[in-house]
Structure 1
Amino acid sequence: MNTTMGNKTVLVIGGGNYGTKACQYFRAQKARVILMDNDPACKAKELVAQNDFVLKDAQSAWDLALKLKPDFIVPTCSSHTCGGWIREYFRLSPLSDSIADVTRRLPQSLFLGFDEPNASLIFSYMTKGKLCREDCPHPPTECGLTREPRPAPLYKLLEYGVFELFDCAKIFVSEQMAPSVGAIKASDFLAFVQEIEIKKPKTLAVGTACRCHGILNLFKQ
């Protein structure tokens, strides 16, 4: 991005390699960066102000997002941050019975695997066993490594995969801000929390995806 973000606040979840890249990028954009990690000696800690480092576990940090109301959330952990936050906040249980309802709607080549006990599904355009380019520019219509066509962003396909199957569903879009740096609009997360509070759904689908990769959790009350 060419413009600075001097009036923006960014919550970075995880201070490892990807968290470090995120902190470096947003600091260069003049944004306020709040870093959260459960390791007081994490790699990215030195990149943020002392008062902007929060020693906390990622899966229990939903309260921080609700309190701070940042502009962007940058999840860098291997687990599904938004799905875990929704589960913890509303005390939900996995809905494993609906896994097949979702997967039958989507191309099987996109389906990398699932954790049935936790009703967690992983999708990707990338062929299993191959690794993406670290400097991938995320071209909109093809893979930046293999040049394989991309008929639609994965987040759109996941929206189709869960459409009208659940009382509430949301696929959070991870927008590429820079190579290896993806961010979710915090307003989308906060709005979905409010939607759940109002509708009080019995079943939910919560996903996070960029153009090429995504993770999805299915829940029930």
Structure 2
Amino acid sequence: MLILGGGKYGTIALNRLRGRSERIIVVDIDPDCQAGKYAERIVTGDEEPGKGSSLVLSDGASFLSRMIDRGDVPDFVILTIPKNVMAALFISWAESLGMKAVFDPDWMLKVSKSFPEKWVVAKDQIFGVLVASYARNHVCLDGCAQPEVCPVTGERREKSMMELAISSVEGDFVRIFESRLLESDVGGVEGGAILDAYRGFKSCAHSGMRLAIGTACRCHAIVNFMRLA
């Protein structure tokens, strides 16, 4: 298990996932982060974490990229960093291929029209990011299992946000990674899905290619829109 971010939610993930894997790695650049109090050891990004629980002092996206590059694929990646880590991963991979990922806000705005406006939380025209959520106007309950009927509003969702994102985004290379609920308040992306995307991207990446990279669950979605140059 790989947990990116050692703050409040990274700490919750660490404590609730104990026993599910012989190795749990939490990645954070801050040695004094909350999760460090619960990890068995603290190591630098160049050291082998080993079995048990470890806090690795490193940038999350960079550490994950190195793991995937060497074929060390975690069962699940738990994303608790407040940014689209998956997009950062593909930006790094593009650079390793000698290309640059340029944000495409015009494409983002076009796709945003496919989402009901009442669920759109943000349309970032600098970084080409679309954020949508069924919890736009309320705070989710602790431990919510994301049922079809929202326990706060009582509204029934015709589609999950994952389904809505997949059906709305078209491009040369589109990957919307599903965050699956592993434990109460803990969602994770399958490491195998990241590895498959890595292989697919490296085999077809080319200048001018439009790529949309996001993460979604039943209730929330974030997608970055970019093109390669």
TM-score (normalizing by structure 2): 0.86
SS at match of 1:117: coil
Matched, 1:194 2:194: no
Output one character per residue of 1:107-144: Cα deviation in whole Å (capped at 9) or x when no partner: 1122111211110111001132x1010121211x1112
Question: How many aligned residue pairs are there?
Answer: 208
The unaligned stretches of length 5 or more in structure 1 are: 1-9
Give the % identical residues: 28
- Is the partner of 2:126 in helix, strand or coil? helix
2:57 to 55, 58, 63: 55
> What SS does the aligned partner of 2:182 have?
strand
Unaligned runs of 5+ in 2: 42-48, 96-100
| Alpha-carbon displacement from aligned partner over 1:130-187 (angstroms, at most 9, x marks no partner) | 1010121211x1112222111111011000111xx31010110001112210100011
Supply the distance in 2 between the matched residues of 1:31 and 1:218 (Cα, whole angstroms).
Answer: 36
After superposition, the Cα gap between the structure-2 partners of 1:23 and 1:122, relative to the gap in structure 1 and judged at 3 Å, is: same
Partners of 2:179 and 2:154 in 1: CA distance: 21
Aligned to 2:104: 95
CA deviation map 1:41-62 (0-9, x unaligned): 1111233332332111224333
Q: Distance in 2 between matches of 1:25 and 1:220?
A: 38
For 1:137, the equivalent position in structure 2 comes to 145
The 2-side partners of 1:31 and 1:122 are apart by: 34
Structure 2 CA distance, aligned partners of 1:65 and 1:100? 34
Q: Say if 1:125 and 1:212, in contact at 8 Å, map to a contact too.
A: yes
Q: Distance in 2 between matches of 1:123 and 1:160?
A: 14
Distance (whole Å) between structure 1 residues aligned to residue 153 and residue 29 of structure 2: 37
Cα offset, 1:30, TM superposition: 4.3
Query: Once structures 1 and 2 are overlaid, which stretch shifts more, 71-80 or 99-108?
Result: 99-108
Question: Pairwise CA RMSD of aligned residues?
Answer: 1.5
1:13-52 equivalent positions in 2, closer than 5 A:
13-50=4-41, 51=49, 52=54
Contact 1:87 1:219 in 2 (8 A): no
The AA in structure 1 aligned to 2:218 is R
Contact 2:5 2:80 in 1 (8 A): yes
Tell me the CA shift for residue 200 of structure 1: 1.4
Residues of 1 paired with 2:126 and 2:60: CA distance? 21
Q: In 1, distance between residues paired with 2:221 and 2:87?
A: 12
Code of the aligned partner of 2:142: E
Alignment of 1:1-221 (within 5 A): 10-50=1-41, 51=49, 52-66=54-68, 67=70, 68-91=72-95, 92-128=101-137, 130-139=138-147, 141-162=148-169, 165-201=170-206, 202-221=209-228
- Paired residues of 2:2 and 2:78 also in contact (CA < 8 A): yes
